[in-house]
Copies of this chain bind each other. A is one copy, B any other.
Amino acid sequence: MTEGEGTRRTPLNRERVLRAAVAFADGEGGGGADALSMRKLAQELGVVPMALYKHVANREELLTGMVDTVVGEIAPPAPGAHWKGAVRDRVLSARRTLRRHPWAPRVIEALPAPTPAMLDHLDAVIGLFRSGGLSADLTHHAMHALGGRLLGFTQELFTASPGPGPDAGAAAQLAARYPHIAEIAATAAHAKDGSAVGGGCDDQFEFEFALDVLLDGIERLHRAGWTSAAGDRR
């Protein structure tokens, strides 16, 4: 039990905590975020558990920060392609990034709200649809249908929670930072009043929309005699 490692390397930034947490979840025999405890992370950093609470409020905030770090690594979109190809590229780029952190989808799905980096990414994808000429209405449903695939995995992004939602001031700030999200949220396609992000949608409609797009697409492929051997991928 020597002190080792020199006394006080870096005074333990928030960023260093998050990077260590991501590295721990990445490694560690596939245990992922479940295997990550405040105590083990503290030990990894050579500090007492309580020291972590100076940089993250609690375990939930640690996980949120880890997700934001990982999602922030997603490469920016290639400029100026057709909207469909551009969305496709961005989704596959997100997938490449998240594949390096296999624990992330499960953590993301359990988040109470999207992180800023997630909102940046979603706003950018919405922008691609809109500049391709799709209506805000159709774009909204397309985002729901793609769901977690937007970040490269197949899950809900976040289940519609009946939480309090942002107040008017916070909503205005969000709208300024994420204009495309604000636009489709404001779309009155669904009867209820749309709060700034996520809330107020007709879950059942979104579910059936995506289901029917998939079933119709599969039917079309069937009628066309599609087979995977035919390199017909794209």
Q: Which residues of A contact B (CB under 8 A)?
A: 84, 87-88, 91-92, 95, 102, 105-106, 109-110, 133-135, 137-138, 141-142, 145-149, 152-156, 159, 189-190, 205, 207-219, 221-222, 226-229, 233-234
Contacts and interface: CB of A to CB of B under 8 A. Distances in A.
**Secondary structure dominating the interface of A:** helix
A229 B154 CA distance: 28
Contact of A207 (B106, B110, B149): B149
Contacts of A135: 222, 227
Contacts of A149: 207, 210-211, 214
Given A91-B211, A189-B229, A207-B95, A218 B155 contact: no
Nearest to A105: B156
Contacts of A142: 214, 218
30 contacts: A84-B215, A92-B208, A92-B211, A106-B110, A109-B109, A109-B155, A134-B218, A134-B222, A135-B227, A137-B229, A138-B218, A138-B221, A138-B222, A138-B228, A141-B228, A142-B218, A145-B214, A146-B211, A148-B154, A148-B155, A149-B211, A154-B156, A155-B155, A205-B233, A208-B233, A208-B234, A212-B233, A212-B234, A213-B221, A216-B217
Nearest to A218: B142
Residue among A135, A214, A219 facing the most chain B CB atoms (10 A cut-off): A214
Q: Within the oligomer, what is the number of copies of this chain?
A: 2
Given A95-B207, A228-B137, A214 B214 contact: yes
A66 to B, nearest CB: 18
A205 to B, nearest CB: 8
